[in-house]
Structure 1
Amino acid sequence: MQQEPESTPGVVPVHHRIADSIRAEIVSGRLGPNDAVPSAGELAAKWNCSVGSARAALDVLTNEGRIVGGRGRRKRVRPPVRRIRLTVDFTQQQKNLVLRPEEERAAVGTAELTAGVPIDRTHFTARYSVVPITPELAEEFSVPDDVEVLRRVYETLEIDTGLRIAWSTSYIPVSLISGNPDLLREDLEPWPGGHQHQLYTVGIEIERFVRSVTATEPTPADRARWGIDPGVPLMWVRSRSVDTDGRVVELSDATYPADRVDLVFTESLDRWPAGHQSYAKGS
């Protein structure tokens, strides 16, 4: 749902007034997805301003991610894109798969659970390396700064478009998984059941995830890989896997285009005690 746009405050240059007007048309629905936006020449005539000011107004809306086009193409209202819905149920579904047979675990992947893309329509790669831990990761894992971690970089592309639909970097202290040498082998990816099943093979059960979310400006290379329009930031999600002993045993950093992800947070509250005092006006 789009918020009602606010007009630019103060003494407003004409290009911002033009942008405010078109933005209101988009949010109200009077200009719908893929509808053409007036050209710079048309706007200049309507607003009695220079073509340069009209182009500046269109640039404002492009940088907001509201319109697309240009370089010989008529600018249009940006159409909606397929969205990923990330909820607490997603990681519980992954955990439920851990104790299932291998053929069942192999049939469902992260891209299918989040992006709704069947596994056979994706191309998945994994790159493993053992690296020295950084001070930041040592603090996250509460371990000495001289240990090694397994770094795993995962990428999933949609075959039909060639665009990236999932990317993450995962870290696990090597000492935690030394009991199963297979966990150091990238050629065994994709691992049926994901990292929760990998940890299960060395006796570790995940009890909860702790996540933090920030946003970054994508580079031109990021925009090309993801197919991101101007004005759309990347969300950076750090997930900490905490085991039943309260240890952070795995940490992953994943990125998502902000226009394609709904992060759904459910916060449970304790109930008032039975027989609690009812509301009385003035009390």
Structure 2
Amino acid sequence: MGTVPVHHQIADELRSRIASGQLQPGDKLPTIAELTKAWDCAPLTARKAIEVLREEGRITGGRGKAPTVRGATARTPIRLADGWTQKQKDLVLRPAEERKVMGAIELTAGVPIAECESTAKYRETEANAEQAEIFGLPEGTKLIERVYEMVHKTTGVRMTWSVSYIPLQYIESNPELLDDSNEPWPGGHQHQLYTVGIELIEFSRSVIAVQPTPGERQKWAMEVGTPMLHTLSKSIDVEGRVVEYSEARYPADRTEIRMTEHLKRWTPEQLAEAADAAGDA
């Protein structure tokens, strides 16, 4: 086993002081000169240790400001249950005023839409080989890529992030669906699809875990070592077409995934057949 680099040893020591409360939020970290002397290392090594903590989101500072311990950030739990997409579908047929104040963020995190700052960016792109296979359409088919982000206004912590792809041919009959200035859309994407005559009947989802980048950890206020959950979803309409493919990301340390599977009752015929088979054995 190799030796742990000195800058990581320094970062580990400072991280322990923060965790134990020896260094409180707002406290200044030891200076580069103090770390250099204490660890008998080069100034560059000490700076690399400070940068590790900055990338982890544990400290603030930089550009001439002394690094200080960052205060604890409130993090809202996210609950993904197997019934929330049905709630979204039910919302589609509700009045506009009701759709405006109820969205995915309220259904998953219980946070009012008014407390979040949302952004949406659309762009036209072309389906690569993987996307073409997902949609069952030719490679190069025009797609609309839509990137969504919600940030809590008070804490500045990212609440949601997702990217979705929809074949342009499915939604181009409604020009409003091609303009990201119409976001946030009352009733969400299911209502958007409803405006062009598309009704969703099935969602196919898979979840994988990946390590976030330092930048992602900061935006989500994540602890080091916590993986990011990537939820990959296919939205399927009543005609059996995949009409939207999306990827949403959630921090694993505050995300709960609930799944309920209903099992069919055995029929009297199945029970009788099993009993006969047992009697013959």
Distance 1:134 1:35, change over 3 A: closer
Equivalent position SS for 1:254 = strand
Q: 1:131 aligns with which of 110, 125, 131?
A: 125
Q: Which has the higher helix share?
A: 2
Q: What is the distance in 1 between the residues matched to 2:93 and 2:167?
A: 24
Alpha-carbon offset, residue 191 of structure 1:
0.6
TM-score w.r.t. structure 2 length?
A: 0.71
Q: How does 1:150-161 map to 2 (within 5 A)?
A: 150-161=144-155
Q: How does 1:109-188 map to 2 (within 5 A)?
A: 109-188=103-182
Question: Partners in 2 of 1:198 and 1:79 — Cα distance?
Answer: 34
2:77 matched to which residue of 1?
A: 83
Q: TM-score, normalised by structure 1?
A: 0.71
Unmatched segments (≥5 aa) in structure 1: 1-33, 39-51, 53-67
Distance in 2, Cα, partners of 1:166 & 1:282: 59
Q: How many residues align?
A: 219
Change (3 A) 1:187 1:267: same
Correspondence for 1:214 among 196, 208, 212? 208
Partner residue, 2:97 = 103
Kept in 2: contact 1:172–1:249 (CA 8 A): yes
Across the aligned residues of Structure 1 and Structure 2, the Cα RMSD in angstroms comes to 3.0
CA contact (8 A) 1:211 1:240 kept: yes
Partner of residue 93, structure 1: 87
Please point out which of 238, 242, 258 is paired with 1:248: 242
Matches of 2:254 and 2:103, distance apart in 1: 19
**Kept in 1: contact 2:230–2:247 (CA 8 A):** yes
Amino acid at match of 2:200: I
Report the counterpart of residue 200 of structure 1 in structure 2: 194
> Secondary structure at 1:100's aligned position in 2?
coil
* Stretch moving more, 109-118 or 266-275: 266-275
AA in 1 matched with 2:236: V
Residue 82 to residue 162, structure 1, CA distance change in 2 (3 Å) = closer
What displacement does 1:102 show?
Answer: 0.7
- Following the alignment from structure 1 to structure 2, what is the Cα–Cα distance between the partners of residues 231 and 282? 57
Q: Structure 1 residues 221 and 80 mapped into 2: Cα distance closer, same or farther (>3 Å)? A: closer
Give the aligned partner of residue 267 of structure 2.
Answer: 273
Counterpart CA distance in 2 for 1:261 and 1:235 is: 8
Kindly provide the CA deviation profile for residues 154-198 of structure 1, in whole angstroms up to 9, marking residues without a partner as x: 000001110101000010000001111111010100011111011
- Measured after TM superposition, the shift of residue 72 of structure 1 is 9.2
**2:210–2:228 contact (8 Å) kept in structure 1:** yes
In structure 2, the partner of 1:232 is 226
Q: 1:72 to 1:106 in 2, by over 3 A?
A: closer
Consecutive unaligned residues of structure 2, counting only runs of 5 or more, are 1-17, 23-38, 40-56, 60-66
Q: Secondary structure at the match of 2:268?
A: coil
SS in 2 for 1:238: strand
Is the contact made by 2:74 and 2:155 (CA closer than 8 Å) also made in structure 1?
A: no
The alpha-carbon distance between structure 1 residues 36 and 69, as it changes in their structure 2 partners (threshold 3 A), is farther
- Aligned-partner Cα distance in 2 for 1:123–1:201: 25
| SS of structure 1 residue aligned to 2:217 | helix
Which of 257, 267, 275 is residue 263 of structure 1 equivalent to? 257
Partner residue, 1:49:
none
**What CA deviation, in whole Å up to 9, does each residue of 1:112-167 have, x standing for no partner?**
11111111111000000011111111110000012110000000000111010100
Residues 243 and 281 (structure 1), Cα distance of their counterparts in 2 relative to 1, 3 Å cut = same
- Write the distance in 1 (CA, Å) between the matches of 2:82 and 2:241: 20
Distance (whole Å) between structure 1 residues aligned to residue 248 and residue 242 of structure 2: 17
